[in-house]
């Protein structure tokens, strides 16, 4: 439970962090809140020789509206997401999701950037970001890249982030006023990762589904965007038969591992149950 030795770097500017990453190469890792990386280091599942702490870079924090988007700095904590009036008003699913991550101690320190860059399928924010159609800003020696969340996750702990890149911000298109949303998470106890979870954002027009997006957490090696399931719901009044079809379509793309949270089939079925609950809550919140 004691990590290997490492050198600690605390740059004040993003450019300095990017240069350090480029110079130190594979042996360097970015440190954000440390609530995923430090446990991995204590278990010796990660053994970086250099940690580049982003906490001293003021420009990586904050939540702002920009045109029709909300832009959130990577070092913004999960607690700050939950406490933001702007997010509560414009993208309330982020407050709801933040509040089911871990416990207050973790949320005070754990960051949005760390949560989405980590690549752990158990992290809650990635599926929500896929559901919302978010884009990640990444900066490396070659400049800035923007990567859609829906293309970011390639395998467990394997993402589209290139070596030497820092994820600097998450850009979220604001869903329309009056949209319905829900993040339903089944966990064994407070502070646990999801057995299965589902995110839904939808709009209704005359009682019928006009737009719908669905994300699933911890039921595959990556978070999932359940595009086909959402399409089945378009034009429906979310009647029981159509919801059943969408749930089946969502379950069909899952491939969870059997683990201490339950056998694979149970976790797939719980993804379906979480989705049905999220759809019902989202419909109610959209006034349906």
Ligand X SMILES: Cc1cc2nc3c(=O)[nH]c(=O)nc-3n(C[C@H](O)[C@H](O)[C@H](O)COP(=O)(O)OP(=O)(O)OC[C@H]3O[C@@H](n4cnc5c(N)ncnc54)[C@H](O)[C@@H]3O)c2cc1C
Residues 6+ apart with CB under 8 A from 25: 163
CB of 114 to ligand X, least distance (A): 2
Q: Where are the beta strands (DSSP E) in the chain?
A: 7-9, 28-31, 50-53, 63-66, 69-73, 135-140, 143-148, 153-155, 158-159, 166-173, 180-186, 196-205, 208-217, 224-225
Report the residue number, 122 or 288, with the smaller CB distance to ligand X: 122
CB of 164 to ligand X, least distance (A): 10
Report the residue number, 30 or 70, with the smaller CB distance to ligand X: 30
- Give the phi and the psi of residue 78 in degrees, each rounded to 5: -65, -35
Residue 196: which of 280, 277, 119 has the closest Cα? Answer: 277
CB of 244 to ligand X, least distance (A): 29
Report the residue number, 42 or 64, with the smaller CB distance to ligand X: 42
- Yes or no: say if 115 and 196 are a contact pair by the CB < 8 Å rule: no
Q: Which two tokens stand for residue 210?
A: 């006009």
Q: How many CA atoms lie within 13 A of 195 on its CB side?
A: 21
Report the residue number, 80 or 124, with the smaller CB distance to ligand X: 124
CB of 91 to ligand X, least distance (A): 17
Can you tell me the distance from the alpha carbon of 278 to that of 70, in angstroms, rounded to the nearest whole number?
23
Residues that bind ligand X (CB under 6 A): 29-37, 39, 54, 74, 101-102, 106, 110-111, 113-115, 117-118, 123-124, 161, 166-167, 191, 193
Can you tell me the distance from the alpha carbon of 3 to that of 42, in angstroms, rounded to the nearest whole number?
4
- Yes or no: say if 96 and 198 are a contact pair by the CB < 8 Å rule: no
Q: Where are the beta strands (DSSP E) in 5-121?
A: 7-9, 28-31, 50-53, 63-66, 69-73
CB of 273 to ligand X, least distance (A): 18
CB of 1 to ligand X, least distance (A): 13
Report the residue number, 32 or 275, with the smaller CB distance to ligand X: 32
Report the residue number, 111 or 203, with the smaller CB distance to ligand X: 111
């Amino acid at each position: 439970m004691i990590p290997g030795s490492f050198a600690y770097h605390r740059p004040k500017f993003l450019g300095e962090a990017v240069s350090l990453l480029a110079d130190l190469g594979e042996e360097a890792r970015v440190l954000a809140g440390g609530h995923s990386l430090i446990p991995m280091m204590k278990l010796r599942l990660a053994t970086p020789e250099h940690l580049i702490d982003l906490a001293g870079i003021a420009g990586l924090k904050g939540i702002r509206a920009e045109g029709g988007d909300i832009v959130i700095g990577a070092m913004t904590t999960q607690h700050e997401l939950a406490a933001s009036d702007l997010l509560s008003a414009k993208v309330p699913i982020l407050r709801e999701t933040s509040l089911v991550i871990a416990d207050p101690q973790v949320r005070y320190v754990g960051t949005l950037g760390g949560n989405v860059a980590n690549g752990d399928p158990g992290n809650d924010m990635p599926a929500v970001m896929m559901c919302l159609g978010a884009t990640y800003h990444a900066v490396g020696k070659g400049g800035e890249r923007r990567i859609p969340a829906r293309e970011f996750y390639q395998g467990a702990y394997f993402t589209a982030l290139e070596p030497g890149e820092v994820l600097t911000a998450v850009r979220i298109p604001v869903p329309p006023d009056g949209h319905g949303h829900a993040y339903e998470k089944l966990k064994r106890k407070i502070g646990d990762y999801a057995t299965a979870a589902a995110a839904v954002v939808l709009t209704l027009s005359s009682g019928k589904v006009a737009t719908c997006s669905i994300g699933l957490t911890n039921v595959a090696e990556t978070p999932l965007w359940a595009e086909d399931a959402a399409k089945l719901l378009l034009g429906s009044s979310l009647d029981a038969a159509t919801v059943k079809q969408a749930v089946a379509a969502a379950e069909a793309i899952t491939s969870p591992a059997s683990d201490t949270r339950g056998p694979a089939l149970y976790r797939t079925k719980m993804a379906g149950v979480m989705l049905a609950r999220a759809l019902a809550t989202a419909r109610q919140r959209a006034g349906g």
